[in-house]
Structure 1
């Protein structure tokens, strides 16, 4: 199940505000302040640390089966998408990724696959990355500079996966279809839509 995307961005507060207005809940904020990583989780708000803003490594927001994370970057950089998988699916996908020659980084918390398309794929098996509710990612459209994304992802998961590509010089997340959320564009240029790729221009 497609559940997640992550960006590095200078627009952290704006991104958090945008998604909370859509009904997302902030679950954690981890940032570096005075030389060490600390938690700035709710009920803390931006007003509580704005004068000495941490260098945020991650801000995690959830709504139903959608998990969006951002971390500080000097410019907007698309990092990865995530799939929630069973342990059996995890073994299968990792094996197929290795056969494709992709780098596979596994640890107890999550696994990352380095794709040749300018972004990574996260495999997640822990239920705590999801919240309760029906909200879900139905489809993604990703800008890539190389052909073959759909073929490779469908091969990894041994089924049709709702991830599609459009050609561009830069890898970036073009559109995400989120059920029940409607249309708009987040501060990082990600188009949120209730219209699937047939209508994407």
Structure 2
């Protein structure tokens, strides 16, 4: 299950506010302050630490089966997407990656696969990275930008089946261009890192209203 993406960004506070305004909760904030990594988790707010010059390594936002993270970077840079898999799936995917000569780093909590498309894929087997498996919130589609063709084919070989919720176009910068997130509170909004986000229910509703209006005009 596609559940996650991560960006580095100079717009850390703005990104947090964007997702919080759209129904996500802030689950953790970890940043480097006075030489040490410390937590600044809720109930702390930005008013409690905004002036402390913290370099945030990770801020995690959650809603249902969606987990979106970001950390401070001098410029906006997309880093990775994440899939929640079983241990059996994990091992098979890692075997496939090695056969494709894609670098695999198995960690204590998660595995990263480095793709030739200049981003990484996280494999996660722990359900505690999401809030619930029953909430309507989920990542339904990602449209990505890569510098070379072949992403869809590469993913189908990696996962031993087509990955139908990821598509790509070729461009100058590797990033996520669009995301369809079921349960998002608004639609056709752009987050501070350039990801245009749609809610599938709101899009369907808008299309229905357009078709309904067209029918009235026709008759």
Residue 183 of structure 1 corresponds to: 188
Residue 74 of structure 1 corresponds to: 74
CA distance in 2, matches of 1:158, 1:103: 17
SS of residue in 2 equivalent to 1:23: coil
Residue 96 of structure 1 corresponds to: 96
Note the 1:51-90 alignment, pairs <5 A: 51-90=51-90
Residue 141 of structure 2 corresponds to: 139
187-196 vs 76-85, which moves further = 187-196
CA distance in 1, matches of 2:182, 2:127: 20
Report how far residue 180 of structure 1 moved: 2.7
When Rg is computed on C-alpha atoms for both structures, the one with the higher figure is 2
**Correspondence for 2:177 among 142, 166, 174:** 174
SS of residue in 2 equivalent to 1:51: helix
CA distance in 2, matches of 1:180, 1:104: 33
Gapped runs of 5+ residues in structure 2? 204-219
Query: Normalising by the residue count of structure 1, what TM-score does the alignment of the two structures yield?
Result: 0.95
Report how far residue 53 of structure 1 moved: 3.0
Task: List per-residue Cα deviations over 1:78-123 (Å, max 9, x = no partner).
Answer: 0000000000000000000011000001111000000000110000
Note the 1:27-66 alignment, pairs <5 A: 27-66=27-66
CA distance in 1, matches of 2:142, 2:161: 16
Task: List per-residue Cα deviations over 1:131-179 (Å, max 9, x = no partner).
Answer: 1222000011110011110001111112221111101011011111101
Gapped runs of 5+ residues in structure 1? 197-201
The runs of at least 4 aligned residues of structure 1 exceeding 3 Å deviation read none
Query: Normalising by the residue count of structure 2, what TM-score does the alignment of the two structures yield?
Result: 0.87
SS of residue in 1 equivalent to 2:7: strand
SS of residue in 1 equivalent to 2:176: strand
Structure having the higher helix fraction is 2
CA distance in 1, matches of 2:53, 2:141: 34
Count the aligned residue pairs. 196
